[in-house]
Amino acid sequence: MVITVDDDVRDLIISSGQDYRVCTACMGPALVPVSVKHPKESDIRIPVGDHTLYVSRVQSMYVSRVTIDMVYEDEDIDSCPAFYVYH
């Protein structure tokens, strides 16, 4: 299994200074900071500069390339139950 990461996604991760994760969300695969959806032990880890891109085990079966259009905007995050945090 090879998952490629587009250069603009690499640039986003490096410039943001944080790790990201590809996970399952309402509109398909979502690329979000780990502050939105924490990584799991079963995730695939892809080094990006000094950071890590985590890809969920479920999404790793379907995604061969991580693209910038997978980024979820704040309004998408707020409206998707997959990102609700219960305390």
pTM score: 0.88
Per-residue pLDDT at 68: 97
Q: What is the DSSP string of 8-33?
A: HHHHHHHHHTS-EEEEEETTEEEEEE
Question: What CATH number has the domain spanning 4-83?
Answer: 2.60.300
* Distance in angstroms (rounded) separating the CA atoms of residues 5 and 45: 12
Specify the pLDDT at position 72. Answer: 81
CB 20 within 8 A of CB 31: yes
Residues with Cβ within 8 Å of 16's Cβ and at least 6 positions away in sequence, in order, are 33
Asked which of 12-21, 47-56, 72-81 is least confident by mean pLDDT, the reply is: 72-81
4-26 per-position pLDDT tens digit: 999 999 999 999 999 999 999 88
